[in-house]
Amino acid sequence: MKIGIIGAGSIGLLFACCLGERHDIYLYCRTEEQAAKIGKEGILLREGEREIRCRVRRSAAGYAGEDLDCLIVAVKSYHLPALAGELKKIPGRIPLLFLQNGMGHLPFLEGLPHRTLILGSVEHGAMRTEANRLHLKGRGVTRVALFRGDREFFARLAKGLEVPGFPFLVEDDAEEMLVRKLRVNLIINPLTALLQIPNGKLAENPDFYQAARKLFDEVFAIFPADGREETIRHVMQVCRNTAGNRSSMWKDLAEGRRTEAEAILGYALEKGKERGIRAPILETLYLLIKGLEREKVE
């Protein structure tokens, strides 16, 4: 298959490297410099003690009319509005797969003309260390669900994307899939970013765990599910499974980048307001993250 990927951060590089084992990859970077470096040196992926060099079919600073079988959009949610014009130039028959955190980007998708729109939830732990270097800290799966389009076509596409060791799991309900990940992100991201701790500490440290439980109470009130204790156990298991990982929100703050606070925390607060649910802990964390973002980014 011919697969395009917009965005060469940690997730974009990971998908380019892993999917490139079986597919032709067209990687669209933000800058000509990064595209040239990847074109010359490839992508260097380190996993444990092993480092491999991955090559892409083409790396460039933007889409150049390639006839793709699928386009993966792997930029942060707040970059999507700036991509609207470019995405609308891509033929409507090409399916788009979006890999953003949170749920704030869903209204943006409604305005796209494409017949097939897919949502993804990535459970791999990866960190970009240089423009073309990536550290894969833990393998998981990519869950995908149909946002718009034909289900049979979507199922065939998801099956066709798979490579060994890099599975795609099809989910029936896109909203349920995203909410399940959103609950996890709402607990892990703000707490680890503010405390500057790896994910596992939320499960290991009893005081941090109690703080996570209090935050979970607010999150669960806004986004309820069957099985309260089962849901918090799932969140804590994710913490343990990614024990050594730094959350994306912590990495963004540490590196002076804008966070996805709006798409994650802001979205949850808006839903809470709509449903008449107060969430003072969540609101406080949101304000603290935005305050740090203002100090570090501006």
In sign, the C-alpha dihedral spanning 3, 75, 238, 143 is: negative
CB neighbours of residue 211 within 10 Å: 16
Q: What angle do CA 198, 201, 202 make, to 5 degrees?
A: 110
Closest by CA position to 71, among listed 89, 95, 55 = 95
Torsion of CA 40, 31, 72, 253, to 10 degrees: 110
195: left (phi over 0), alpha (psi -120 to 50) or beta: alpha
Distance (Å, rounded) from C-alpha 71 to C-alpha 160? Answer: 14
Q: Is 76 a catalytic residue?
A: no
Three-state SS for 130? strand
Choosing from 181, 214, 273, 290, the catalytic residue is 181
Neighbours of 237 (CB within 10 A): 12
Active site members: 181
